[in-house]
Amino acid sequence: MSDKTIENLMNEAREYDPPQEMLEQANLTAEKYEQACRDAELDPEGFWAERARKLLDWKRDFSTTLESDSEKHEYKWFGGGRLNASENCLDRHLKNGRRNKAALIWQGEPEEDVRVFTYHMLHRKVCRFANVLKKMGVSKGDRVAIYLPMVPELAISMLACARIGAVHSVIFAGFSAVSLQNRIIDCDAKILIAADGVLRGGKKILLKRNVDEALFECPSVEQVIMVKRTGDEIDFIEGRDTWWHEELSASDIEDFCKPESMRSDDPLFILHTSGSTGKAKGIEHTTGGYMTIVAHTAKWVFDLKDDDVHWCTADIGWITGHSYSVYGPLALGATTLLFEGVPTYPRPDRYWEIINRYGVNIFYTTPTAIRALMREGSQWTEKYDLSTLRILGSVGEPINPEVWVWFYEHVGKGKLPVLDTWWQTETGGILISPLPYVGKLKPGSTGKPLPGIKTKIVNNDGSNASTNEGGHLLITEPWPGMLSSIHKDRARYNRTYFERFPGSYETGDGARIDEEGFHWIMGRLDDVINVSGHRLGTTEIESALIAHPDVTEAAVVGIPHEIKGQTVYAYVTLRSGLDQDEEMRMALRDWVGKKIGPIAIPETIQFSEGLPKTRSGKIVRRILRRIAAGEDDLGDTATLSDASVINDLIEGQKILFE
């Protein structure tokens, strides 16, 4: 690609002209889109009600679309309605001609590990496992924690919980024993579903040890159901641990399990995400609203069709996998692909090889993965015929225009829409995104809010920002799929999302809107950093560091990173007399890995004697961020109680990067 093309693509909006046959098959044509915008503008509730009724099977129709109590920040969607998420993802497809179609294709890390489940087979497994849970005494409203790698049992567990009205709480298998424990305690899970280990990048990582460690202090957990993945010998705790395969094949387990009739506002799941304090927030999602937003966005943004193979590469441990590997595609009766491995193992062509092998149509991934693959070179993409692809998507962090263009040129071959989709754990589904065949695309922009979604950008004082001026991104109207609460912490829910800018939902992101209404996300405005698209609270990492016996003080900031978007940079003050050396750094890294998980390990640790603070003793991270990034302009330092620490910090940073 010539430099000229890159420049054009980066500076100008791309008038994307989809081939005629793509337009003809689109779920949402330009004309329908315009109509949807008008409908949603005139009668937003009517618009959402129509989507909910069209896309889902309701056991009982809802009588109200939205009941709002803006004082209490309560937004109740589809009141009076009853439905079951697992029934919507499975049972209805047994009757509409999809019974023998692949619902789930699983590609394990070893090439030969492939499992395919038709809708009939997946339904059978989910029903049987739901019966196992019932046999263990799990009933409606109980919480079930799931700590599994990317294996089919993960999706089966979630759907089985949904079937009986149990609330699942998936915990990313990369989290440490401590993080696992905190999350289990927060949701008082009755059952834990886990695996012996994980296969990753050609290595085996044991998980059972984390399970045992975590469960030392989780009195709520009565039983542990273990999935055999690596086959390593593991210790079993008599009376507590059982094998998944043995439970599932027990002779008293029946093939059918009646789906529980759930109210729209019954919780479907809890998923923890980091916030700006040390404790992770358990985001609660309800059944009716969540299922509506995921089915709706899968249909319009990904233009999902019956013949499609939809591949979202995210781990199901994050919201992306919940919404676009499991609930969204299955609700629409599509084929979803799960991949256990990593993009670069055994070779950096793994993604392209999988796309080719299964004829993937929709490919949804992260800027981090694209950057890593881009670095390996475009020759890897050229080895394979990728012509089944129809839509490319990106999520989780800002995608730099160069990376967008590479994705567009080398994976999309200059023919496919690249959709930069913006959303959060809290929003349940995509809220801001270009639509594949409607309007133009601007590399680096997440496009406009979807019909029915209203945003605005405000300054610190709440006044409206002008065009192209950066500020706080707010969502000004409720939408189906918005979180219903933070588990066990209503006050934090109110404070985090609704109190600073009354009347709107505060996303925590900075953004600007250009003259054409395109949104440009600038990153988090709170103490949250985004490493490889994973949200990490800086305070969470600081708490972990401070808990180390040799550490007296710590401050953590994010700095830009070529591949991961951001990485963790930690300033650490040690107890006096200790050696500030590589050995100590290793020990601290290891410690953070154990406390939180490998993703939180600081890439850089700078030892410091003091930190910049305000007179009231608050660490000024703004300055630390600039020092860490090697910036010359540190901004206003007048408010510091002792500005003399600054020079030492700058020196220290220089030495590290010499």
Q: Among 71-79, 84-92, 325-333, 501-509, which window interacts with ligand WT7 (CB under 6 A)?
A: 501-509
Token representation of residue 247: 């439970």
Q: How far is the CB of 515 from ligand WT7 (least distance, A)?
A: 20
Judged by beta carbon, residue 286 or residue 313, the one nearer ligand WT7 is 313
Render 357-372 in DSSP notation, one character per residue: HHT--EEEE-HHHHHH
Judged by beta carbon, residue 318 or residue 363, the one nearer ligand WT7 is 318
| Residue 561 and residue 308 in contact, taking contact as beta carbons nearer than 8 Å | no
Interactions with ligand WT7, residue window 384-403 (CB under 6 A) = 395-398
Backbone torsions φ then ψ of 623, nearest 5 degrees: -75, -40
The reply on whether position 421 binds ligand WT7 by CB under 6 A is yes
| Residue 573 and residue 609 in contact, taking contact as beta carbons nearer than 8 Å | yes
Judged by beta carbon, residue 257 or residue 559, the one nearer ligand WT7 is 559
SS3 string, 520-571, reads EEEEECCCEEEECCEEEEHHHHHHHHHCCCCEEEEEEEEEEECCCEEEEEEE
Q: How far is the CB of 545 from ligand WT7 (least distance, A)?
A: 22
If one counts every other C-beta atom within 10 angstroms of the C-beta of residue 45, the result is: 14
Interactions with ligand WT7, residue window 234-273 (CB under 6 A) = 273
- Residues of the chain by 3-state class (helix, strand, coil), percent to 5: 35, 25, 40
DSSP summary character for residue 110: S
Site string for ligand WT7, 457-496 (x = CB under 6 A): ----------------------------------------
Judged by beta carbon, residue 122 or residue 511, the one nearer ligand WT7 is 511
Token representation of residue 406: 């590479």
How many residues interact with ligand WT7 (rule CB under 6 A)? Answer: 23
Backbone torsions φ then ψ of 42, nearest 5 degrees: -70, -40
Buried b (16+ CB within 10 A) or exposed e, 172-210: bbbbbbbbbbbbbbbbbbbbbbbbbbbbbeeeeeebbeb
Which of 512, 524, 564, 613 touches ligand WT7 (CB under 6 A)? 524
Q: How far is the CB of 430 from ligand WT7 (least distance, A)?
A: 8
DSSP summary character for residue 498: I
Judged by beta carbon, residue 355 or residue 395, the one nearer ligand WT7 is 395
Q: How far is the CB of 319 from ligand WT7 (least distance, A)?
A: 5
The reply on whether position 424 binds ligand WT7 by CB under 6 A is yes
The reply on whether position 197 binds ligand WT7 by CB under 6 A is no
Which of 190, 208, 322, 535 touches ligand WT7 (CB under 6 A)? 535
Which of 477, 509, 540, 542 touches ligand WT7 (CB under 6 A)? 509
Strand pairing of 335-339 and 102-107?
parallel
Token representation of residue 161: 């919980």
Buried b (16+ CB within 10 A) or exposed e, 591-600: bbbbbbbebb
Judged by beta carbon, residue 22 or residue 599, the one nearer ligand WT7 is 599
Token representation of residue 192: 């834990």
Q: How far is CA 206 from the centre of its chain?
A: 24
Q: How far is the CB of 393 from ligand WT7 (least distance, A)?
A: 9
* C-alpha separations of 618 from 556, 571, 612, 639, 649 in Å: 13, 15, 8, 11, 17
Q: Identify the three-state secondary structure at position 279.
A: coil
State the angle between helix axes of 30-42 and 44-55 in degrees (0 to 180), rounded to the nearest 10. 120
The reply on whether position 521 binds ligand WT7 by CB under 6 A is yes
Interactions with ligand WT7, residue window 308-367 (CB under 6 A) = 318-320
Q: Among 101-109, 227-235, 490-498, 504-512, which window interacts with ligand WT7 (CB under 6 A)?
A: 504-512
The reply on whether position 597 binds ligand WT7 by CB under 6 A is no
The reply on whether position 82 binds ligand WT7 by CB under 6 A is no
Q: How far is the CB of 410 from ligand WT7 (least distance, A)?
A: 20
The Cα 653–Cα 658 span in angstroms is: 9
Q: How far is the CB of 318 from ligand WT7 (least distance, A)?
A: 6
The reply on whether position 423 binds ligand WT7 by CB under 6 A is yes
The reply on whether position 165 binds ligand WT7 by CB under 6 A is no
Question: How long a stretch of residues is the chain?
Answer: 658
The reply on whether position 420 binds ligand WT7 by CB under 6 A is yes
Judged by beta carbon, residue 225 or residue 531, the one nearer ligand WT7 is 531
What is the number of the residue whose Cβ is closest to ligand WT7? 425
The reply on whether position 146 binds ligand WT7 by CB under 6 A is no
The reply on whether position 538 binds ligand WT7 by CB under 6 A is no
Q: Among 31-39, 100-108, 503-511, 629-637, which window interacts with ligand WT7 (CB under 6 A)?
A: 503-511
Site string for ligand WT7, 434-453 (x = CB under 6 A): ------------x-------
Instruction: Point out which residues bind ligand WT7 (CB under 6 A).
Output: 273, 318-320, 395-398, 420-425, 446, 507-509, 521, 524, 530, 533, 535
